[in-house]
Amino acid sequence: MQDDFSFFGFFYSNFSMKVVSKILTGGDIINHNEVVQISNAYLLPLVSELYGLEGYKIKQIPAHDGGRNVVYSCEKEGADAKILRIAFLNDRSREDFLGELEYVRYLFEHGGSVSNVVSSQKGNLLEEINHNNLLFCLPV
C-alpha cells in the first residue's frame, strides 16, 4: 500500500457504518465528483480491507441538493448493512472526528438510540492512509 494520503476511519455497527472523509489539498477543497472518483478508485478498497468489508456490495446513494457528503450503502447477505459517509469539507479536525466517535460510543454504552462505533481490524477508532498529497479524514 502506498503512503501518499492520510485516512482516518471509524465504523458504526448495526445498519450504519459512518466514514467521514475530510480532504485537504493544500488549503483547497475538492468537489463532490472528485471525491466520488477518489473514493471509487482508492478509498473503498482500503476501507474494505481496514474494516473487513470484503464481499460487501458497496453502492453510491444519490446525493441530495445541498448535501455535504458522498454516501454509500454497504450490504452483504448474512451481515448487518452499513452506511458509509464521506464528508469532504475542511471544516473539521481529526480531534473533532475523535470527539464525535467518543460521544457516539458514550451514547451507545449508556442506552442512547445510536449505532455503536466499530474499530478497525487494527483496533483503532481512526485509521490514517496517505495518497497523492491528499489528506483523507475518514472516521467510520
User: Total domain count for the chain?
Assistant: 1
- pLDDT tens string for the chain (140 positions)? 333 333 344 454 444 444 444 544 445 567 888 888 888 998 899 889 988 889 999 999 998 887 777 888 889 999 988 777 777 777 777 788 789 888 988 999 999 998 877 778 888 887 766 666 665 655 55
- Write phi, then psi, for 35 (nearest 5 degrees): -65, -45
How many helices (H) and strands (E) in the chain? 3, 8
Q: Is the dihedral of CA 14, 56, 35, 24 positive or negative?
A: positive
- Checking 73-77 for CB contacts under 8 A at 24+ apart, the result is 74/17
Query: What residues make up the domain containing 75?
Result: 5-137
End-to-end CA distance of the chain: 20
Model confidence, pTM: 0.71
Decide if 79 contacts 44 (C-beta within 8 A): no
The residue type at 136: F
